[in-house]
Structure 1
Amino acid sequence: MPSVRTQNHRDTPSPDYVLWDLPVRLIHWLIFLLLPASWWTAEEGYQEVHQWLGLTLLVAVVTRLCWGLVGSPQSRFRDFLRGPSTVVAYFRGAPSATPGHNPAGGWSAMLLWVLLLAQALTGTVNSDDVLYTGPFYYVFDSGVSDSLAAYHETIFNVLLGFIALHVLSVIYYERLRKQRLLKPMVVGKAEGRKGTGPAQPAYKALIIAVLVGGMLFALLELAPAPPASEYYW
């Protein structure tokens, strides 16, 4: 017969930790809104608005990458970035070791963040030679800036493909495997899915975002102006 201490220990439920903390959810849905808004403003010629949306996206992605180092348990890279053997084993039917991103989904998310970062950065050196010149276009020689900017549209097209794959994956897990992915990204957790440890305070992510935004603003202020000859026709 188990002791009273053992029995009480068994009856104590495990803490109901949040799976996705507030910063992760806010950044996820902010990016969800920023991407179509950025596309639309570029198509309609609202270049100044497009630029600020791109800079906001840059701050959001960099903040998320920083949160991957110091954030809550399931937001950290060490929780979901696994070696090739683990990824292969997952595709062969092995269970995921974490309630967050599975081994394949973790690398997929990381690739998306890298593509978003590249998209935002190449936009800062983009120019159409008529109405728009990125804030950091004159940091480099025009040939270098133009070469970097040439990837801006290409990266966006690649992003569209990965976003489509992401949506299809969510539908697959929600409908066929009955694993709730959308609900935790809205409310933080769902039945059968909870975090492995306490969430970090959201204000820490806010501090990171403010610092990243402040550094970006400082760089914008330091960015070289167009040559004097470009002010005259």
Structure 2
Amino acid sequence: MVQKIKVWDGAVRFFHWAMVLLVAGLWFSGSEGYIALHQLLAYCLAALLVSRIVWGLWGSETARFSQFAASPKAAIKYLGNARPVVGHNPASSYMIFTLLSLLLLQIISGLATFDNSYMNDGPLVAMLPASWVDLASSIHKFNIDIILMLVAVHIGFALWHSWRHDNVIKTLITGCIRISGGSQPQLRASWSFFVMLAVLLLLLYYWQGRKLLVLL
């Protein structure tokens, strides 16, 4: 019997689509040289990532990292027999962990990245040896290419899965899926996620955001 189940809470859905917009904005602002805007978007992404990591530890059942962690064997087996599942499928979990890790690396390396204008260096540049700054700057420039390639793969797989199996894109908008034999996961109210995100954004605003807004 096919039934409608809510699998994604508001926090997960907001995170996903906000991350899409922020990564696109970061790529554009970085490519066009809008460094102040680039850094402001980076701090927004940092707050979003930290909030998602915390939510992945104690949030809704389908949001927890422990729920969708899978063995390589399970991921390969799933790719050979893709089907609708409640929550993240075994293959996508590896992409999610990889993208989260690379985005964190991008944020951290950006904090120590040197800018030729001398006005918008990362806040850690003045505290670190020049060799570390050079390394961080190189990582920051190289890592974004890897992220963009993986994002393209992720989008391609999502489109293919939505066409051949179940509409995962629609599910990340509505939060619901129609599935046979699934059970309703335990979802936690998302208000605490948004409170945490707001607090982090406020802290980052007072740390760096105020100075960057003046440069826009």
Q: TM-score, normalised by structure 1?
A: 0.79
Q: Map of 1:1-80 to 2, 5 A cutoff? A: 18-80=6-68
Structure 1 pair 195–109 and aligned structure 2 pair: CA distance change class (3 A):
farther
Indicate the residue corresponding to 1:146 in structure 2. Answer: 134
* 1:42-100 deviation digits (Å, cap 9, x = unpaired): 2222211111101111111111111111111111111111123322332443868x511
More strand by share: 2
Question: Greater RCO between the two (CA within 8 Å, min separation 6)?
Answer: 2
1:192 aligns with 2:179: yes
* 1:134-187 deviation digits (Å, cap 9, x = unpaired): 122123212212211211111100011101101110111111x23110111111
Structure 2 counterpart of 1:99, one-letter code: V
Equivalent of 1:172, from 156, 160, 163? 160
CA contact (8 A) 1:73 1:195 kept: no
Q: RMSD value over aligned CA atoms?
A: 2.6
Deviation, 1:190, is 2.8
Structure 1 pair 203–195 and aligned structure 2 pair: CA distance change class (3 A):
farther
Looking at structure 2, the residues matched to 115 and 41 of structure 1 have their Cα atoms a distance apart, in angstroms, of: 19
CA contact (8 A) 1:22 1:202 kept: yes
CA contact (8 A) 1:63 1:205 kept: yes
Structure 1 pair 84–178 and aligned structure 2 pair: CA distance change class (3 A):
closer
Indicate the residue corresponding to 2:214 in structure 1. Answer: none
Structure 2 counterpart of 1:86, one-letter code: A
Structure 1 pair 195–28 and aligned structure 2 pair: CA distance change class (3 A):
farther
Q: TM-score, normalised by structure 2?
A: 0.84
Structure 2 counterpart of 1:74, one-letter code: T
- Determine what percentage of the aligned residue pairs are the same residue: 25
Runs of 4+ in 1 over 3 A off after TM superposition: 91-96, 193-196, 210-221
Looking at structure 2, the residues matched to 87 and 190 of structure 1 have their Cα atoms a distance apart, in angstroms, of: 21
1:130 aligns with 2:78: no
Looking at structure 2, the residues matched to 118 and 169 of structure 1 have their Cα atoms a distance apart, in angstroms, of: 24
Deviation, 1:214, is 5.3
* 1:191-219 deviation digits (Å, cap 9, x = unpaired): 22877323211111123223444555676
- Pair member with larger Rg: 1
Looking at structure 2, the residues matched to 122 and 195 of structure 1 have their Cα atoms a distance apart, in angstroms, of: 42
Q: Which runs of 5+ in 1 are unaligned?
A: 1-12, 222-233
Looking at structure 2, the residues matched to 130 and 220 of structure 1 have their Cα atoms a distance apart, in angstroms, of: 17
Q: Map of 1:66-145 to 2, 5 A cutoff? A: 66-93=54-81, 98-131=85-118, 132-145=120-133
CA contact (8 A) 2:55 2:64 kept: yes
